[in-house]
Each structure stands twice: as C-alpha cells, then as structure tokens.
Amino acid sequence: MSEPRYQRRKQDRPQEITAAAFDAFAENGYAATRVEEVARRAGVSKGLMYLYFKTKEELFKAVVKSVVVRRVDALIDTVEGTEMSSEAFIRGPVLDFMKRIPDSPVAVVIRLLISEGQRYPDLVDYYYENVVSRGLAAITRLVERGVERGEFKPSAVTDLPHLFVAPVVLSVIWRILFSKNSFDTDRFMETQINLILTQIKT
Amino acid sequence: MSEPRYQRRKQDRPQEITAAAFDAFAENGYAATRVEEVARRAGVSKGLMYLYFKTKEELFKAVVKSVVVRRVDALIDTVEGTEMSSEAFIRGPVLDFMKRIPDSPVAVVIRLLISEGQRYPDLVDYYYENVVSRGLAAITRLVERGVERGEFKPSAVTDLPHLFVAPVVLSVIWRILFSKNSFDTDRFMETQINLILTQIKT
Amino acid sequence: MSEPRYQRRKQDRPQEITAAAFDAFAENGYAATRVEEVARRAGVSKGLMYLYFKTKEELFKAVVKSVVVRRVDALIDTVEGTEMSSEAFIRGPVLDFMKRIPDSPVAVVIRLLISEGQRYPDLVDYYYENVVSRGLAAITRLVERGVERGEFKPSAVTDLPHLFVAPVVLSVIWRILFSKNSFDTDRFMETQINLILTQIKT
Amino acid sequence: MSEPRYQRRKQDRPQEITAAAFDAFAENGYAATRVEEVARRAGVSKGLMYLYFKTKEELFKAVVKSVVVRRVDALIDTVEGTEMSSEAFIRGPVLDFMKRIPDSPVAVVIRLLISEGQRYPDLVDYYYENVVSRGLAAITRLVERGVERGEFKPSAVTDLPHLFVAPVVLSVIWRILFSKNSFDTDRFMETQINLILTQIKT
DNA sequence: GATGAATGAGGATTCATTCAT
DNA sequence: TATGAATGAATCCTCATTCAT
C-alpha cells in the first residue's frame, strides 16, 4: 500500500530537489521559502538536501543554473544553420521563442535574479555571460546576416539588439506583477517586430 | 555613526523613516534589511519606529507608496496643458522623463515590487492603478491627441502604449542587474521613440 | 507574587550570564551545554545572550577569561610586598593559595581548556601568558629572593618552579576525575613543599 | 584519500576502527569527531562500524579501554621480578616509563577522560581501578620493598606515591596545552625523583 | 556481510516585535 | 513620548543512526 518511506535514488535526487526548489522559489521567493518546504515538496528529508547542496544558497544557484541555458543554445545554433530569409526567421522561430518566454521558467529565474541578484553577483555574471550576452549576440548576428544578404539596410538596430528584447522583458515583468491585468503580449511582440522590420527592410 | 543633524520635528518623522527605509531596502532588499538598520539610518530608536509603523510590512508599504506618484501626475497634467506638438512633446518632456527613470527611485520600487509583490498583492494593485494604468493611459491619450490633430495616423500603437514603455522597463532591469555591463540606455530609448514616430507620423 | 518577567538590568547581565555559563560548562562541558540551558540558568532569554555575546564561542572565551586573573595578580603582588622570610611565605600564603586551587573555579577552567583548548589556541595563549607564565615567574622570583637573602642555596629548583606546581596540577586533575576516590591533597602539597624546602634550605 | 592497503581480515576490524578513532579523537576531541571521519580513516563504511560498535559512545569507551592497560601490567610485573636495587629500578625503568608517558597515547586518553569523563563515570572508574590505582599501588610496593630491604627509610612517601606521579601529570597537561612553549620535562621528572630519593635514602 | 543514501531530532543563531523604564 | 534591553518564534544546518540494496 504505502510507499516505502526510504528509497535510494541517488541519480535522480539532485534534479528532483532542484525541481521542487524551483517551484517553491517561484511561489514564495528565495527568502520566504524554508528549506524544509523544499524537502517536503521533493518528498525527501531535510538532511538529504544537505547531502546534495551544501547550503540553501548553493541550492539556489543550482536552481537558477538549471534553467534556460539549453534553450538559448538551441536558438543560437538554429540561426546559423537555417536556410530561411532573415525576416522569415525573425518572424518565425525568433518570435515564437520570444512569445514563449513570459510563461516559461525563465520568467521565474528573472524574478529570482532581480530579487536576490545583489547578493549573488557571480550568479548574475553567469547569467549575463551565458544567456543575455549570447542571446543579444545571436540577434546582432541575425541582423548582420540580413544586411550582408541585402535584405536589411544598415541601421542603429544592428548595435541595439535590445530593441528586439525589450517587449519580452516588459512582458515578463508584466506577467510577474500584473498577471491579473493581462494584456496581449503576443500581439505586443509582433507589433514591435513589425516596427523594427519595417524600418530596416530594404 | 551618522548623528541626526538637527532636532527633527515630529511631523517629519514618518517621511524621514520611510526615506531611511527606502535607502536600506534599495541597498539590501526588503528581507535582508533589519528594522534596526532602518532605525539607525533614520536616527531614531527602534521603539519609536513602531509608533509610526505597526509592522515591518506596513513600513514597506509606506516606502513603496511614498515614491513615484507625484511624478506621474505631473506628467499627466502636462499632456493636457501643453501647446507643443505631440511629436515635440514626446521627443521632449516624455523622453526626458523616460530617460530619468532607470536612475530614479522608481527603479528601486520596481525591484522591490518584483521581489516582494507576490506577498503584497494590494500593493501591486495600488501600483497598477496609480502608476502603470495611469501612465499608460496618458501615453494613449497623447497618441490619440496626435491622431485627432492629424499629426499621427491611426495605428496599433494607440492601444499599445507599452511600446513606449518597453525600453524603459528593459533599462530599469538592466540597471538593476547588469550595472557593471552598462549600455547606452538613452540612445536606446531615443531609437525606440524614433521607430514608433517614424511609423505613425502622417 | 510572580517576578516581573521582563527586567532591564544591562549592567549586571554579562556577569550573570558568564556566571550561569560557568556553572553549566562546569557541569556538562562546553560542547554538551546548550545555549538555551545557559539562558535558563541565567534567568534570561536565549536572544538576550546573543546581545552580549555574539556566539557561543565568544561566551566560552568570556567565561574562561572571567576566572583566575585577579587571584594570580594578588599573589604576585604579595611576593614583592611581604616582609616574611621566603620559607615562611612559601609555607604560608603560597601553600594556602595552592591548597585552594583544586576546589576553586580554576579547576573548572583547566578542565575546559584541556577539553576545548585545541580549538581556541588564542585562549590557551592568553592563559599561558597571563596565568601560567606569570605564576611560574612569581615562584622563580620567590626562590631567587631566598637565594639572594641567603635562605636558600642555588639549585635546579630555581629554573624548575614547576616542582611547586606539580602537586597542584595533579590535585586538580584528581578532583576533576576521581572526586569520589579522594585523597588528602592538602597533605600531598605540604609534603612536596617539604621535599623542596628541605633540599634547598641552607 | 588513504586507500586501505590490503584486504583486511575481519578479526582485525575492531582494532583498526579503534585505532582510527583514537587518532581522530586525539586530533579533534570526542565531540568534534564525526563518526564518518572515523570510518573514513579506518577505510570502512559507516554502516560497518555500527556492526562493531552500537553507538559512538561505545566506540569511545572501546578506544579508551584499548590504550594503556598492557603497559601498566608490564611495569607492575617487572617490579616484582627484578634483581635491581629499588633506587636503580626507580632511576632506570620507572623513570624511563614516566618520561615516555607525555608523548604516548596515555596523554590522549587523559585528555579524553578529562573532557568527557563526567558523562562516562563507569569509564573513569574503569580507569581508576585498572590504571591509576594499580599504578600507584605498584609505586607504593616499590617503596615498601626498598624499606624492607633497608635501602629507604620509612616516610610519608610510602603513602604518597602521588609524589612520583605529579611531574608526569603536569608534563602531560603541559604537552596537551602548551606544546608550543615546551620545557624540559625529562629533566623535570629526574629532578623530582632526585628530590624524593635524596629524602628517603638511608 | 557491506555500503552509503536517507532520516530527523537537536542545537545555534537571527530578528521582528514588545515593554519596562 | 522615546529608548533599547529583552523576548521567543522561526529557520538553517549538523550529525548520529538506520536501513534498502
């Protein structure tokens, strides 16, 4: 009947724990989440958590690092590999990717970084280097490729990939804070992309 | 350390305390700031603080509410009162206002809301209604006025004032997280405004 | 009827707490004594202890330092100030002092130092310099004075003040460990003093 | 780190574990030594340790009991068996034995007993009966034999074998606490033996 | 027998809040 | 009022001990 209350599952534990911690942090934030609560959600004892993560801080860092990275890499790879026109690529995969972010774990991580980042500068650095910097570089590359191919004309947009990202950031923050006053973030992003492309298309 | 400079008058106390709390929260976040630290900064005893604010939460709410509101109202009033063309108004006062936000207390409040907002929904509501909603309405009105006057053509921008705000939000978040990898947020906002105006101008 | 459960007695607290801690450490040793237990004995809350002593370790150090020092100084002063013959001084005040040690707080401190000293080398150094080294120097001085006065002949005892101290140390350890198999430590010390004096008297 | 060198034989396990525990306790004391650390040093799993010693306390008792006993017996036997004069025996084997104690495991056990003895009175009793009491009896017997043989005259020393032991105890404590301010404990013990023998020789 | 993953009671420490002065 | 000493619930973390494998 009852589950064995004692199971050896060394392989899966770290992920189970970070997953549980992710949920807990997402709901209550880092400071307000008790280690015991994470353990409970992971179906594990408090002590076991400390076998895998030396401190609550380390658990936090593991949680943050466990999210995102793969997704960015995937997108970056596609940029180079695709046969699509730059515009089609932006209106297609890039926009899709952007639209998914506000509902993805990324939004949670952004919230956590904003809340706790000041105390974990190395974590912020990690994120800047692995996600932000590479993401922006990918967009820049995409625009440059459009220029090289004669699809786009040179413009300020080339050094301001932030223009593409701005509506995503606003949408994420909006989702975090004002989910009950939602607005159509998809259309918002589409409109911004339109603005940009209209401007730079040859 | 920092002795109170003069004998403070009682009626200034609450503001002095919220100002001290604002600084402390700005530096360390809400959870990591001790009530005692706020008292020390305000040059006041812990006990006295509790005379003005019944709990740390209440102090937090007072801090958040103490920021921003006046500024938004001022801008909103100007929209109606001005003789300037809509474009000139946007490129002038509005853009100036936007540029100042990332270095203003607003950035701090945004950080605090993102960190702690989940636990204080009424505070988020307060902000939404008094700042966000009214700010966006003001932008919408501005664009509409441009349309009425024949300066702008009707477009999606009318119901997406968020387009104006997006670069501000990104800049704020950037300042909070990546201040050491700064980029030219002024030029960023100008470029976005350009994008929008180019599109909607008749 | 009931004692007020909340009393402001800033002046006395540190001593009350170290006194309570001394008793608790004496009974159970450092590691086995809970901070809460010390607080209970001091009639004080756990939290208050941390107002006066930042950690349990610091409390421990304060306890150790609170004992002994005055006594050693007093004896040392007397050595120089007295008119007594060296022999009379040794058989009188010195022997009395020695006899009292095994039942004094010093015995407790010695036990604590032996138990925990390895982890607090600075505390051991403190004791060596303030108690051991000065105590031995005082004895050496006493013997030298006897030689100068022609009461004693020069001998190995001059550089081995430890000979005077050895029975005290054994008595202390005995008291700590074998109090239920007590032996006459007073007579033991007298006999040792006799041995020494018989040997060095002119 | 330290791989077990050979496939150990089962019958050696308990001794290997107590030896490892002895080293660990010697370095860090009982309370500060983790069972896991002992297991690691013994090249054995934690679980296996609990097969041999039901609790950490039991292991501690085994460690304490594993030391010393044989040496005392050996010395006691020699007292009766020897052809040497009492003085020669004391200045020879006995003094040698004494000199070796401060650097021997006995010093560690003394420290452990002083630290933890209060909680393990049966262990202290065990030590008193098997080591202290018998050791002192052996010295008493030795002196008595000297008296019987006309080498020594009757004196207080007969019932104060502690006089022989005192410098050993001081040396042990000194070694434990002040090893960095070492002094010549060998000469110290010799001088004490000299004092005693000079006094009691016929 | 062995292992070491898993458990959870126990203990140090923090800090918002109270209240005697 | 004003103070800051005093309180104690809350929470992180450790480590002896157990037990599935």
Per-residue pLDDT tens for C129-181? 989 999 999 999 999 999 999 999 999 999 999 999 999 999 999 999 999 99
Q: Which of D156, D177, D199 sits opposite C124 (nearest CB)?
A: D177
Model confidence at A188, pLDDT cuts 50, 70, 90, reads very high
Q: What value does the mean pLDDT of chain A take?
A: 91
What is the DSSP secondary-structure string of chain D? ----SS---GGGHHHHHHHHHHHHHHHH-STT--HHHHHHHHT--HHHHHHH-SSHHHHHHHHHHHSSHHHHHHHHHHHHH--S-HHHHIIIIIHHHHHHGGGSHHHHHHHHHHHHGGG-HHHHHHHIIIIIHHHHHHHHHHHHHHHHTTSB---GGGG-THHHHHHHHHHHHHHHHHGGG---HHHHHHHHHHHHHHHHB-
Model confidence at B1, pLDDT cuts 50, 70, 90, reads very low
**In angstroms, rounded to a whole number, what is the distance separating the alpha carbons of residues D41 and C26?**
32
Q: Touching check for A32 and chain B: CB below 8 Å?
A: yes
Pick among B114, B126, B183 to test the A interface (most A CBs inside 10 A): B114
| Per-residue flag: A47 CB under 7 A of strand E | yes
**High-pLDDT (> 90) share of chain B, %:** 77
**In angstroms, rounded to a whole number, what is the distance separating the alpha carbons of residues A63 and A58?**
9
Tell me if C163 and D163 make a contact (CB, 8 A cut-off): no
Model confidence at D79, pLDDT cuts 50, 70, 90, reads confident
Residues 12-41 of B with CB under 7 A from strand E: 32-36
Model confidence at B91, pLDDT cuts 50, 70, 90, reads very high
**Length of chain B as a residue count:** 202
Lowest mean pLDDT among A74-83, B94-103, C46-55: A74-83
Q: What value does the mean pLDDT of chain C take?
A: 91
Average of per-residue pLDDT across B67-75: 73
| Per-residue flag: D46 CB under 7 A of strand E | yes
pLDDT of D84 over the 50 cut: yes
| pLDDT score, position B80 | 75
| Per-residue flag: A7 CB under 7 A of strand F | yes
| pLDDT score, position A5 | 64
| pLDDT score, position D9 | 62
Give the count of Cβ contacts less than 8 A between chain C and D: 116
Average of per-residue pLDDT across D130-150: 93
CA to C1' distance (Å), from D119 to E7:
27
Question: Cβ neighbours of residue A145 under 8 Å, at least 6 residues apart?
Answer: A79, A86
- Closest A-chain CA to B180: A125
| pLDDT score, position C4 | 58
Tell me if D29 and C115 make a contact (CB, 8 A cut-off): yes
Q: Touching check for D140 and chain C: CB below 8 Å?
A: no
Model confidence at C1, pLDDT cuts 50, 70, 90, reads very low
| pLDDT score, position D3 | 42
Model confidence at A11, pLDDT cuts 50, 70, 90, reads confident
> Environment class of residue B194 by beta-carbon count within 10 Å: exposed (0-12), middle (13-18) or buried (19+)?
middle
| pLDDT score, position B5 | 42
- Closest D-chain CA to C173: D114
Taking a C-beta distance cutoff of 8 angstroms, is the pair D177, D113 a contact? no
Average of per-residue pLDDT across A94-122: 93
Report all structural domains of chain B as residue ranges with CATH numbers, in order of start.
Answer: 13-64 (1.10.10.60), 67-200 (1.10.357)
| pLDDT score, position A2 | 45
Tell me if A118 and B157 make a contact (CB, 8 A cut-off): no
Phi, psi of D185 (to 5 degrees): -70, -30
Which chain A residues have a beta carbon less than 8 Å from that of B160? 187-188, 191
Give the residue nearest to nucleotide E21 (CA to C1').
C8
CA to C1' distance (Å), from C24 to F16:
24
Distances (CA, A) of A57 to A1, A45, D113: 37, 18, 40
A25-55: per-residue pLDDT in tens?
999 999 999 999 999 999 999 999 999 999 9
- Closest B-chain CA to A133: B181
Model confidence at B3, pLDDT cuts 50, 70, 90, reads very low
pLDDT of A62 over the 50 cut: yes
Lowest mean pLDDT among A197-201, B48-52, C72-76: C72-76
- Closest D-chain CA to C119: D28
Tell me if B192 and A132 make a contact (CB, 8 A cut-off): no
Model confidence at A10, pLDDT cuts 50, 70, 90, reads confident
Contact flag for B and A (3+ C-beta pairs < 8 Å):
yes
Taking a C-beta distance cutoff of 8 angstroms, is the pair A172, A105 a contact? no
| pLDDT score, position D6 | 43
A133: three-class secondary structure by DSSP = helix
| pLDDT score, position B4 | 46
| Per-residue flag: C10 CB under 7 A of strand E | no
Query: Would you state the structure tokens that stand for residue C89, as one six-digit string?
Result: 């001084």
CA to C1' distance (Å), from A4 to F20:
9
Q: What value does the mean pLDDT of chain B take?
A: 90
CA to C1' distance (Å), from B55 to F6:
18
| Per-residue flag: C199 CB under 7 A of strand F | no
Which chain D residues have a beta carbon less than 8 Å from that of C32? 31, 119
**In angstroms, rounded to a whole number, what is the distance separating the alpha carbons of residues C85 and A33?**
74
Min Cα separation D10/chain C (Å)? 34
Average of per-residue pLDDT across A92-100: 94
CA to C1' distance (Å), from C3 to E12:
28
| pLDDT score, position B169 | 98
Report pTM: 0.89
Q: Which nucleotide is nearest to C9 (CA to C1')?
A: F5
